[in-house]
Amino acid sequence: MLNYETIPNQAMVGGIKLYIERGIMPGGFLTALLSNDLMGAFGAADQTNINCMYKWATWLYNEMPSRGSGMWGSLKDMQNYCRLVNEKLEANK
């Protein structure tokens, strides 16, 4: 399971949790970051996240499940991940 304490900007924990645990797409910065859109991530980042960009890249590489997990890598991967999480949550109701 992901250790949320290692997230470079703790203000982003809520969005990441909703994405991972509930299949809710995050806001612009996190969507760009998790879909490997470097220019979009810098464009959507506030100053705190810009200053953390190296830490974000390191966190993705070391802490997020691999790209093969489908959790991140492209926008399509993210959308598919959300669909799968939502289907699983719906089936467990």
pTM of the model: 0.92
Dump pLDDT digits (tens) for 53-72.
999 999 999 999 876 788 99
Q: What percent of the chain has pLDDT over 70?
A: 99
- 63's CB contacts (< 8 A; 6+ apart) are 2, 3, 6, 7
How confident is the model over 6-35, as pLDDT tens digits? 999 999 999 999 999 999 999 999 999 999
Closest CA to 74 of 24, 48, 40: 40
User: What are the structural domain ranges in the chain?
Assistant: 4-91
